[in-house]
Amino acid sequence: METEFEGFCSGSEILTKYAERWRKVSFGVPVLDRLTGGGIGSRGIFELAGDPGSGKTQIALKLALAAQRTVPNSTVVYICTEHMFPSRRLLQMEAEYKRQTVPDTEGQEHSFADHILVEHVRCVPTLMACLFDRLPKLLEKAKVSVLIVDSITSPFTEEKDYVLRAETFRTIVHRLHQLQEQHNFAILVTNQVRSVIDSATLDDQRTVPALGLAWSTLVHTRLQLARTHGTNNRRCTVVFGPSLIPKHGYYHIDESGPVDAVDDQRSFLVDDQY
């Protein structure tokens, strides 16, 4: 059924008239917010792809905390597919986050962890049931600011029918887009990476996000993370996004989670290769 045409409006009017539709949820990490123009938008699939140990889960946990400040009285849905939810690490990060962002007693009684709802799934049917059945019911009852899937890769690693897998990708993303239109929440998925070698020269090894082109065409914005040799810093690169320019920045991980690499003066650069 077609929606009623509401008439044309200016770009500035859109931001005020449809504020929830176009709001961004902060990562809680300044360098990532600068790279993305303020965080994750409430439309489309936002992906973090990266090497093991590059900080994908750490960033997701920090986002789950920061989202509750960006969108007051909201809930975060966190779907784990690869490992048990790191509850102990979350509580450590929550304590540091409160200490750094709430200097007085005001707001200290708020339990961020209590507003992060966790689901564990291991296979595609369970993931589909969670997204198609349980999530819509929750959205009718609670104000959700962010849905996190950590990671989208694991349930599909054993799937050998790539045509069916591509169709499942489209079905999932189409349904999530519908739910975003109704409830205005951001979506973050993490993705693994794999190494590919130029078949012509047998060298020029590159690291690319997993799941191939069928998945990549459905992603709205992609950041790629990598560990840097000889340093504790990690690198975050904007791969693509409709309103972003290719840049990279550096961060490291401490007790509070991901933070800017303040000792690195290259912390925010436009990539030379573009």
Chain segment 222-236, per-residue pLDDT in tens: 999 998 877 889 999
Evaluate if residue 272 carries a pLDDT over 80: no
Residue 264's pLDDT band, with cuts at 50, 70 and 90, is very low
> What is the Cα gyration radius of the chain?
19
Q: What global pTM score does this model have?
A: 0.88
Q: What is the largest CA-CA distance in the chain?
A: 63
Q: What is the pLDDT of residues 116-152, one digit of tens each?
A: 999 999 999 999 999 999 999 999 999 999 999 999 9
Residue 40: band (very low, low, confident or very high) from pLDDT cuts 50, 70, 90: very high
Q: Would you list the DSSP string of 79-108?
A: EESSS---HHHHHHHHHHHHHHH--SSTTT
What is 22-98+110-260's CATH number?
3.40.50.300
Of the two residues 156 and 158, the one the predictor is more confident about is 156
Whole-angstrom Cα distance, residue 209 to residue 223?
10
Phi/psi for 197 (5° steps) reads -120, 135
Cα-based distances in Å from 137 to 20, 118, 121, 199, 217: 20, 15, 18, 48, 28
